[in-house]
Homo-oligomer: A and B are copies of this chain.
């Protein structure tokens, strides 16, 4: 069987695939994390008080996610270091129990940024968890996936 795992070498050992011959193009990827927080936690973001907890929780998560995007090649062993052009993380309250995190990453480089987008969405989700865990630990990250990527050999749209 042909080896389609680009990060695995002839001796079946991990290797960082050589992207030296790939072209530098503008690339972008968006990942999504759907997260169950439960009604008690969400109530602290929506309540009638002047000052809700939404601000510090979401901003801490956004900042942590942006910083994680820049750390992706340190966290995922075979990822190439990249010069990120921009990161945008958006967190929305979907309903009385769930939030959705979207992370979009842009570069001009030789490899896609799907791992960067996924890492940013994930660490933002974990940071929301950390900020809210004194209320409840029933939280669940329910879905993390790549929504779309563009600019590489083939575009992907996972709707």
Contact = CB atoms under 8 A, between A and B. Distances in A.
Interface string A99-135: 0000000111110001100110011011101111111
Contacts of A129: 115, 118
Given A4-B134, A13-B89, A140-B144, 19 more contacts: A1-B49, A5-B131, A5-B135, A8-B56, A9-B88, A13-B59, A13-B90, A16-B69, A18-B85, A18-B86, A55-B55, A67-B67, A78-B130, A80-B84, A81-B81, A115-B129, A115-B133, A122-B123, A141-B143
A158 B133 CA distance: 14
Contacts of A149: 137
Interface of A: 1, 3-9, 11-20, 26, 44, 47, 49, 51, 53, 55-60, 62-64, 66-71, 73-90, 106-110, 114-115, 118-119, 122-123, 125-127, 129-135, 137-146, 149, 156, 158
Contact of A57 (B5, B60, B81, B135): B5
B20 A85 contact: yes
Given A53-B12, A55-B55, A130 B5 contact: no
Nearest to A24: B108
Contacts of A87: 15-16
A4 B59 contact: no
A60 B59 CA distance: 8
Contact of A20 (B26, B55, B64): B26
Contacts of A81: 70, 81-84
Given A20-B85, A81-B83, A64 B70 contact: no
